[in-house]
C-alpha cells in the first residue's frame, strides 16, 4: 500500500514538472516604496530558503529508499527539489525587477540546514514540513501586506505548491509514525510541536514588520501555525453522538 501511495505522488510531481504553475503576464506590478521597505529583507530571507541544492536531502532519500525498497521515492525527491528551486527562481525574478537585493546567507537558513543533516531522511521530513507549515501562513500574510497584484498571485502560487508538499510529507511521516509504539509516537509529536512552536516564534520576530501589518500578532501567528500542524499531523479525534430514533 505504501508503494502504491508513492506512485500516486510520483504521478503528481511528474505532472507538475511538465506543467509548472506560472505567473500570468500582464498583472499590475507596482510596488510602493513603503511596501518595498517593509517586505524586502523578509522576502529575501524566504527566497534564500527556497533555493537549496538538495544534495544532502537526496543522499538521505536514496538511503531510505534502499532500506525500505521504495525506489520511486528518489525520483519524487528530485522533482520536489526542482519545484522548490522553481519557487526560488520566481521570487528572484520578482526581486530583481524591483531592485530588492538577494541574500547570500542568513543565520536562520544556516540553522535549518544544520538540523536537517543531523540524522537521516525522517528528520529531514520533519524539518521540511515545519518550514512549509510556517511558510504557507507567512505567504498568506505577505499577500495581505501588499497591493502588488503580481506579488499576490506569486504568493498564492507558492501556497498551492506548498500545500501539496505538506500533503506528501505528512503522508510519509504518519506512515512512519504508525510503525512506532504509542509512547514513542507521543514523544515524537511533542518534540515536533515544540520545534515548530519555537521556529514559528523566531520567524515572527524576524518577519514581524510584514506579519504585524497583515494583522498577525505573535500569538495569532503561532496559533495559525499550530492549527496547520494539527490538521496534517495530529491524530483525528472522532466523536460519535447518539442519534435519537423517531
Segment 166-188 shows an average pLDDT of 92
CA proximity to 33, closest of 194, 159, 120, 148? 148
Give, in words, the CATH class of 2-15+32-233: mainly alpha
pLDDT digits (tens, 9 = 90+) for 21-57: 889 888 999 998 999 999 999 999 999 888 777 888 8
The pLDDT value recorded for residue 114 is: 62
Query: Given a cut of 80, is residue 207 above it in pLDDT?
Result: yes
Residue spans per domain, the chain = 2-15+32-233
pLDDT per position as a tens digit, 62-110: 999 999 899 999 999 999 999 999 999 999 999 999 999 998 766 666 6
Residue 218: what pLDDT?
A: 95
Angle between helices 218-233 and 120-144 (to 10 degrees): 130
Amino acid at each position: 500500500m505504501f508503494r502504491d501511495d508513492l506512485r500516486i505522488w510520483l504521478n503528481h510531481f511528474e505532472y507538475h514538472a511538465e506543467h509548472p504553475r506560472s505567473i500570468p503576464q500582464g498583472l499590475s506590478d507596482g510596488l510602493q516604496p513603503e511596501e518595498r521597505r517593509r517586505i524586502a529583507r523578509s522576502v529575501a530571507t524566504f527566497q534564500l530558503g527556497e533555493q537549496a541544492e538538495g544534495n544532502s536531502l537526496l543522499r538521505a532519500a536514496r538511503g531510505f529508499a534502499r532500506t525500505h525498497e521504495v525506489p520511486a521515492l528518489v525520483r519524487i525527491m528530485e522533482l520536489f527539489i526542482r519545484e522548490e528551486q522553481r519557487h526560488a527562481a520566481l521570487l528572484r525574478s520578482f526581486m530583481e525587477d524591483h531592485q530588492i537585493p538577494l541574500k547570500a546567507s542568513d543565520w536562520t537558513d544556516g540553522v535549518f540546514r544544520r538540523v536537517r543533516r543531523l540524522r537521516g531522511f525522517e528528520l529531514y521530513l520533519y524539518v521540511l514540513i515545519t518550514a512549509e507549515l510556517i511558510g504557507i501562513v507567512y505567504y498568506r500574510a505577505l499577500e495581505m501586506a501588499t497591493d502588488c497584484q503580481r506579488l499576490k498571485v506569486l504568493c498564492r502560487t507558492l501556497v498551492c505548491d506548498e500545500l501539496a508538499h505538506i500533503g506528501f510529507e505528512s503522508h510519509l511521516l504518519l506512515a512512519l509514525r504508525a510503525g512506532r509504539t504509542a509512547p514513542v509516537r507521543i514523544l515524537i509529536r511533542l518534540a515536533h510541536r515544540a520545534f515548530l512552536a519555537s521556529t514559528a516564534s523566531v520567524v515572527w520576530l524576524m518577519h514581524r514588520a510584514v506579519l504585524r501589518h497583515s494583522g498577525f500578532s505573535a500569538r495569532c501567528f503561532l496559533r495559525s501555525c499550530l492549527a496547520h500542524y494539527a490538521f496534517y499531523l495530529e491524530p483525528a479525534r472522532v466523536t460519535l453522538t447518539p442519534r435519537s430514533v423517531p
